[in-house]
A and B are shown apart, each in its own frame.
Chain A
Amino acid sequence: MKLIAHLTLHVCLLAGICFAAAPAPEAAKPGEELARDADVSGQYGGHLTIGQRSEPKTLNPVTATDAVSREVIGRLMADLIDINRSTQQTEPALAKSWKMSADGKTFTLQLRKGIRFSDGYPFDADDVLFSFKVYMDEAVDSPQRDLLIIDGKPMQVTKLDQYTVRFVLPRPYAAGERLFDGLAMLPRHLLEKPYREGHFAQTWGLNVAPGEIAGLGPFRLKQYTPGQQIVVERNPYYWKVDAENRRLPYLDELAFLFVGTEDAQVMRFEAGETDMISRLSAENYNLLVREKSRMDSQLADMGPSLEYNFLLFNLNDLSGKKLDEVARKQTWFRDLKFRQAISAAVDRESIVRLVYGSRGAALWGNVGPGNKLWVDQNLPHPQRSLETARQLLKSAGYSWNPAGLLVDAAGRPVEFSIVTSSSNSQRMKMATLVQDDLSHLGMQVHVVPLEFRAMIDRIFQTFDYDTAIMGLGGGDADPNPEMNVWTFNGTSHLWHLNETEPATAWERELDQLMQQQMVTLDYAKRKQLYDRAQQLISDNLPFVFLGTPNILAGANVRVGNFHPAVLDPYTLWNADELYVRSSAPQNAGVR
């Protein structure tokens, strides 16, 4: 078996050599201000293959909404300031440095001089101005627009000289430099014309000719085959060099295959048809661990992710809707003791073990142990106790009928359903466990799997549900992306949407805390505010937090510099540093 594996490896390497057509990296030009990755080394050449669950929809970084498209676009484009996915800190990218004013409103960015787009065209402040104009243009409908409009006012962007740009925010914004992450800088020389002519959204679709698309990322488009793959090749003008001042990226090519499903991703990785895999479920990860004898791979368990999964109660205002049945159940859900009883009865340890195969962490708040900078270490982690739960219910006026079923003060049996997405087997499993946990309290709980969008429709539009199991988060470690969940008028204030004012005192306090942390520039003070917010949330339980999966990823042994991160895009964030080893190391093991 091993012999066959070796043979396939050789065939793969040979195939890699056949791809010799990739452009050689350009020699550095005098005056070109390149970024140096001091601790990166590798070898030139080779190509890697990545399996994607579905086909990207567009290569336009301004209009792309889906994760798959962004995964590809992220390799073709670059931003001014980048969040290093490994350290979770910001670092210079196209801007070699930046200064924030004392009031936290003004950011002055120094651009790198002499760097070029992937078609050889120089990059300067005019491209930055153009890019921000496009992002903030209402007619373009960019999903990133809302980030740049703060308090309803757009950011002011001015050019100070050819390589200096100033951004003025309408009010102080903590960690404001993080806003620049993920905003791809666009080539004005290619996009101004379609933008002026009003068909920007249609440009850079999948069928774009490789000559018509250029970016500042490590790769550039080589070929798209409908339904099958996108191949990107080395950008010979890329602005980063390694420890030996050699221009990155190392790889000649990167191919994105559209494989269909998570299982197909795993199987093709196992068969050696793809080289890297991320967002693995624990079951698939364990499978790959077991298969290591047949297939040499480097597997990484990066610890808890930033995602949080929770049981959500429908506390929406239902007046004007014909949902009397749900409204009746809301009298239970509104009772804090009822929610506390449920939280006490839920067996989080079992969830981690059975749902995540022990590769995950239990949660009692919205910030998990994976977010080391912001997690409140003092948050209580009470043990599961059915006894506590029963006491709580009793003190809230609930009792048990002779059949052992829980009834409320009015004598009505407690019966409700948990809605969850049928395509997410992990959340389905959580729902089934919670259902069983709560049956020990005499609650009759029904698991209702729904197709994903049908569920979203109920939660955001019709409010026709009792409770739901969902997951949020995972984008960035900073508290700011969480604003829309915890402020009373936030768009993801799931338990009570469209509030005109905070419905409860604690929601008012939570809202104030979140607003305050957003304008507080000092980390320690911000942390204090956010800690208090976490405590409020876990005391009042609008969500009963359940757990978070670990980030699990894998790569073929021949992939060098494989350093997966907890943040999206888990394995490809350092695509410019990845390389193909000429000989496989002996001791690639499970971390």
Chain B
Amino acid sequence: MAGDNGNEELRIGVYVCHCGSNIAGVIDPKVVAEYAAALPGVVRAINTPYACADSGQNLIKEDIKEYNLNRVVVAACSVRMHEPTFRAAVSEAGLNPFLMEMANIREQCTWAHGHDPEGALEKAKDLVAAAVAKARFLVPLQMIKVPVTKRAMVIGGGVAGISAALDLGDQGIETILVEKQPTIGGTMAQLNKTFPTMDCSI
């Protein structure tokens, strides 16, 4: 695979999301896709109304097979939003999830430059080119599996902490409830009757 041992031909697919009018209301995703199509290693570049919707994900999955893609770039929203979505999508199509790279052209482009569509377009092209550049050097990675100690700790013995500790206990999980004061109860234990039941707070 390219970037791995350099033997395999680089085949990058680029998907430029409209996100309804969130992106397409400021820039033309088609122009960005056409721009991406000319970048080295890109064999498929297309705009899609909602990349995260089933239709968008299916497009990516089908293309991975049809175009034999070995890298995917999704130009859409923040990685904090949909990176897991697209990693899962490429994974379902048989591609290692770490061979997918995102370009954030919504939060960090069209939403931040709504009054500067020309500047936003130039920036979106550069962000896509940078994602393609990084994609070129991505390598397949495996998630690291770690064991899980089946014990919980709740820090703070107020009403939220007590509620969490009881629920964890009821799930059968051994739980340590830590409270810095000499008694649990927190602020609520100091209160007189409480709304809406107007009963004792303890």
Decide if A and B are genuine partners.
no
Chain A residues with CB under 8 Å of chain B are none
Binding site for A on B (CB under 8 A): none
